[in-house]
Amino acid sequence: MKDILTGIFCIVFSLFVFVTASTFPQSPKIYNSPAVYPQSLIILLIFLALTLIVSGILQIRKKPPHVQKPTNLSKPLWIFATLVGYLFLLSNVNFVIATFVFLIVIYRLLGGTWIAGAVFSVLLTVGEFIVFGFVLKVPLP
Amino acid sequence: MTFFQLYTEGLPLILQPDVLLMTVGGVFMGITIGALPGLTVTMAVAILVPLTYGFSPLAGILGLIGIYCGGNYGGSVSAILVNVPGTPSAVMTGLDGYPLTLKGQAGKAIGNATIASFIGGFLSVIVLSLVSPVVAKIALGFTSAEFFAIGILGLSLIAYLGEGSFLKGLISGILGLVLATVGSDPIMGYPRFTFSQADLFEGIPFIIAMIGLFGVTEILVQVEKGDHLKKVSQALKNILPELKTLLKLFPTIVRSSVIGVIIGAVPGAGGTIASIVSYGQQKRISKHPEKMGKGSLEGIAAAEAANNSCTGGAMLTMLSLGIPGDAVTGILIGALMIHGLRPGPILFKENFEMVSAIFVGMFFANICMLVIGLAGAPLFARLISMPKRFLNAAILAFAVIGSYSVRNSFFDIGLMLAFGFGGFLMHKVSLPRTPIVLALILGPFIEDNLRRSLLLVRGDVPLFIHTLFTRPISLFILVFTIFLFIFPFIRQKIKLFQWFNFDNNSR
C-alpha cells in the first residue's frame, strides 16, 4: 500500500512540476530551453512511479498486506511542532529566550523531567551562546 | 611532483593550532557519535558543516574528515560492548567482538579493533595520496561530455542506497534531480520553480537539505522507535594488544585494507559492503574458520581494517573526480564548496597545497583515532549508557542554528524543517533519503555539463550521444556506470554473497 501511495504522490508532484515548467520561456534550441531538462526528468519520474504502483499492486495480490503494529506517531509530530514553534520564537523574540524555552520543552518531550530539563536548557543555551556566538563566530538568530 | 612533495607541500598548513585542534576534536566527536547507535556519521557531518564557517577552510574540512574517520571506527565500540553496531559497517565486528565481551575480554576486542582500524585507515591514505594525483591528471583532459558521464557515474551510487529497493532509490534520486533544478537556469539565467521567493534564486542549498534529512529526520525516526540502549556491565582491561598477536594479524589487516580501499573507491559500495566482503574472504582462507563468529580476533581485524580503509577509497574519487564515494563524502563535497573549493582535477592543479594538507591531515586523523580510541575506550563505554535525550535535544538545536548560519536566513530554517518532515514521511514509506541529497549535489553539475555538451553540438542529440560513446574515456565511464546500475540485479540473481556462509546463530 505504501508503494502505491508513494507512486500516486510522485505522479501528482510530477504533474505539478510539468505544468509549472510549461510556463517557462520556450526556445527552439534544446540547450537554451529552461524547461526541457526538468520536464525530461519528470517523464522519467512518472514512468518510475507507475512501475512502483504496478509492483505495489502485484505485491498486494500475491500477499495481502499484514496488519502492522501501530506506531506512536504523536511524539515525533509533537517534536516537529516544537521545532516549528522554535522557528516562530526565534524570529519574534531573542535567541537566548527562544532556545531556553525550546530545549526545556524538547527535553520534556524526550522523556526527561522539568527540573533536569531546566538545568540542561540553561547550560546548553549559555554554552551555545558562548561557543557559537563568540568562539566559533557563527551568526546566531 | 615528487613523492615527498605529496606530503611536504601541505605540512606547514597542518601545523597550525586551529587545524590540529579541529582534527583532534573531529576524531573525538566522530568516535563518540559512531559509538552511539542511532546517531550516524552522515548526520554528524551534515549538522556540523555550518559550525566550521568560523575556521579556515583546511581546519573546517579536517574537522569533518576527523569525524568521518573517527565515526567509522566508533561504530565498533558499541558493536563489541553491547552487540548493537553504532554504524551499519560495524555489524561484522560485532559477530566476533560481542562473543569476546561475553567471555570478559571486551578490552582485548576493542584494542584489536582499534589497531586494525588504524592500520586500515593509514594504508588507505597512502593509496589515496599516490593514486588520486594520477587520476586527477588524467581527468584534466576531460571535456563536458566526460564530466557529464562522471556525473551519471556519481548517480550510480543511487543503485546502492535504495535500502533494498533499487526502484525506490532511483525515484528518490530523480526527485533530488528535480529539486536541484530550483533556482536560476544555468544557461539562460531564468528563475525556475522559485515562486518569486528570492531565497530560492540560487537554488536549494544542499547543506540545508542535508541537515533536515539527516539531522531532524533521524531524531524523529528514533523518537518514534523509542530506541533504548543496553548498559555496559564490564570494566575494560588489557586494551593494548600484545605484539605477538598483532604480528599474527598483520597479513589479515593488510589484505582487508586492500579490499576496503578498492571497494571504497566504487561509488556507493561503502564500509558495510567492504567489511562483509573482507570478513567473508577471511573466513574462506582462515586456518580456523570454525572460530569466526565465536570471538575470533581475525574476524574483528578483517572487518575493521576493511571498514576504515574505505575512507581513503571514497576520498579518492571525491578529491580527484569530484564524485562522492559514499554519503559522507557527498557532504564533504558540499563542505569543500562552501569553503570555496571545488573537488576534482582542478583542485589538484590550482590548490595542490590544500590537497597535500588533506593527505597529511588524514594521516594525523588516523593517528588521533588510534590514541583516542585506545585511551578513551572506557569513556566511550560509559557514553553508550548515557540517556540519548541530552544529545537528541542538542542535535535539534544545532540543526536549527546550523541552518540559520548558512545565509543568516529564517527561510532556510523553514526549508530545513520541511526537508526534515519530508524525510520522516519518506522513512514511513521506505523511500531512501541519501539519493536526494546526492542528486542535489550532482544535479547542477550534470545539467550544466549536459547542456554545455549540447551547445557544442548545436543541440544535435544523436551527435551528442555519438560523441559520448566515441570518446574513449566517456565510453569507459558510461560502460562502468551501466555495470554499476545493473549490478544490483545481477547480485540478486546469482546471490553473489551466498558463497560465504555466515553462522548467524553465533551472534
B residues 457-496 near A, CB within 8 Å? Answer: 458-459, 461
Cβ of residue B219 closer than 8 Å to a chain A Cβ: yes
Whether the predicted pLDDT of B507 surpasses 50: no
Mean pLDDT for B190-219 is 86
Q: What pLDDT, in 10s, does the model give residues B140-175? A: 777 778 888 878 877 776 666 555 577 888 899 899
Of B190, B390, B404, the CB nearest to A34: B190
In angstroms, the CA B93 to CA A43 distance is 44
Size of interface A-B (CB pairs under 8 A): 161
Q: For residue B468, how far is the Cα from the chain centroid?
A: 30
pLDDT at position A49 is 94
Decide if pLDDT at B506 tops 60: no
The chain-wide mean pLDDT, for chain B, equals 82
Helices within chain A (DSSP H only): 2-22, 36-62, 74-92, 95-109, 114-128
CA–CA distance, B167 with B162 (Å, rounded to integer): 7
With 90 as the cut, is the pLDDT of residue B46 above it?
no
Reported pTM: 0.77
Answer whether B361's CB lies under 8 Å from B65's CB: yes
**For residue B54, what is its C-alpha cell?**
568560523
User: d(Cα B293, Cα B282) in Å, to the nearest integer?
Assistant: 12
DSSP letter, residue B429? T
Whether the Cβ atoms of residue B238 and residue B107 lie closer than 8 Å to each other: yes
d(CA B41, CA B31) in angstroms, rounded, equals 9
pLDDT at B353: 87
Q: Is B393 on the interface with A (CB under 8 A)?
A: yes
Provide the shortest C-alpha distance from residue B15 to chain A (in Å).
Answer: 20
Closest-CA residue of chain B to A105? B393
Element spanning B387, H or E: none
pLDDT tens per residue, range B257-288: 988 888 787 766 667 778 877 887 787 788 88
Which member of B174, B190, B459 has the closest CB to residue A25?
Answer: B190
d(CA A89, CA A85) in angstroms, rounded, equals 6
Burial class (CB in 10 A: 0-12, 13-18, 19+), B480: middle
Which residues partner with B184 through β-bridges? B191
Contact: A6, B174; criterion CB under 8 Å: no
**Does B228 have pLDDT greater than 60?**
no
- How far is CA B43 from its chain centroid? 11
Which has more confidence, B336 or B497?
B336
How far away is chain A from the Cα of B309, in angstroms, using its nearest Cα?
A: 31
Going B419 to B421 to B424 to B426, the CA torsion angle's sign is: negative
Is the pLDDT at B344 greater than 90, yes or no? no
Chain B nearest-CA residue for A31: B451
Q: Does B410 touch chain A (CB under 8 A)?
A: yes
Residue B75: how many CB atoms within 10 A of its CB? 34
Distance CA B313, CA B132 (A): 10
**Contact criterion met (CB < 8 Å) for B404 and A90:** yes
Which residue of B163, B216, B220 is the best one to mutate when testing the A interface, meaning the one whose CB has the most A CBs within 10 A? B220
Beta carbons of A80 and B459 less than 8 Å apart = no
Q: Are B394 and B47 in contact (CB under 8 A)?
A: no
Nearest-CA distance B453 → chain A (Å): 9
Nearest to B417 among A37, A84, A124 (CB): A84
CA distance A45 to B267: 23
Q: What is the mean pLDDT of chain A?
A: 86
Between A78-92, B124-138, B278-292, the lowest mean confidence (pLDDT) is in B278-292
| Preferred mutation among A6, A20, A123, A124 to probe B, highest tally of B CBs within 10 A | A6
pLDDT tens-digit series, residues B450-468: 888 888 888 788 888 888 8
**B51 near A CB under 8 A:** yes
The band of A85, judged by pLDDT with boundaries at 50, 70 and 90, is: very high
Q: Which three cell numbers stand for residue B346?
A: 582542478
In this prediction the ipTM stands at 0.92
Cβ distance of B187 and A31 shorter than 8 Å: yes
How near does any CA of chain A get to the CA of B2, in Å?
Answer: 37
Task: Report the alpha-carbon distance of residue B342 to residue B133 in Å, rounded.
Answer: 15
Do the chains contact at B167 and A51, CB–CB below 8 Å?
A: yes
